Amino acid sequence: MKFDPTDLAVKDMYKLLSGSVVPRPIAWVSSISTDGVQNLAPFSFFTVASRNPAMLCISIGPGVGEREGTIKDTLTNIRDQKEFVINIVSTPLGNAMQKSAGNLPNHIDEFEEAGLTPVDSEKVLPKRVKESPIQMECKLHEIINLGTDHLIIGQLLLYHIDESFYLEDYKVNLEKLRPLGRLAGNYSENKDFFTLPK
């Protein structure tokens, strides 16, 4: 079978993409509004954008459903403040992460809503999620408008890792991290690790 994106409804192409580019890591993004309200939301259109300088990117789509026609708070906040933190989601944090994806009014502190502990960042205003084993403080490098979506590229300013997840020589203990993967509407736990023969 084959599908030409120009023949498909947007939602159908999206379903094919999100079911094919899998599993995706989840950037749990903290940002802060100009009024000082802390915001937290997951984004699985997420990867490393550059190794030197270290940069990460997420793609933010338009509001859907009851938020049709609106701009996501994360995009507004990053546009205004030019800073954010990417927290990595381990499997035990799945339920809290899901809660923070709800359509909450922008005056609600999503840390509080999801029962999470905010900790001060060192180089940016948005707080880090204490419960997350890896937190990356970023400053905005560029926002690229791509059709209906916005690609946010951030430069890494400070990388934090809970010592108990750190192996020697800059390696992360993935068995312990149990990174949560986003599939289509569902999730995978990444816990079976192996190398392939050369």
Ligand X SMILES: Cc1cc2nc3c(=O)[nH]c(=O)nc-3n(C[C@H](O)[C@H](O)[C@H](O)COP(=O)(O)O)c2cc1C
Binding site for ligand X (CB under 6 A): 26, 39, 41-45, 59-61, 72-74, 98, 101, 103, 182
Tell me the closest approach of the beta carbon of residue 171 to ligand X, in angstroms.
26
What are the tokens at 86? 């990417």
Q: Looking at beta carbons only, is 60 or 134 nearer to ligand X? A: 60
Omega before 53 cis (within 30°)?
Answer: yes
- Read off the DSSP letter of residue 127: P
Q: How far is the CB of 180 from ligand X (least distance, A)?
A: 8
Alpha helices per DSSP H over 100-186: 110-113, 174-177
- Judged by beta carbon, residue 18 or residue 155, the one nearer ligand X is 18
Of 113, 129, 41, 48, which Cα lies nearest the Cα of 77?
41
User: Between residues 39 and 87, which has the closer beta carbon with respect to ligand X?
Assistant: 39
Distances, alpha carbon 89 to alpha carbons 4, 8, 134, in Å: 34, 32, 8
Between residues 167 and 184, which has the closer beta carbon with respect to ligand X? 184
CB of 189 to ligand X, least distance (A): 13
For residues 73 and 137, which CB has a smaller minimum distance to ligand X in the complex? 73
List the Cα angle 143/17/78 in 5-degree steps.
20
Produce one character per residue of 130-151: b if its CB has 16 or more CB atoms within 10 Å, e if not. ebbbbbbbbebbebeeeeeebe
Smallest gap from Cβ 70 to ligand X, in A, equals: 8
Q: How far is the CB of 169 from ligand X (least distance, A)?
A: 31
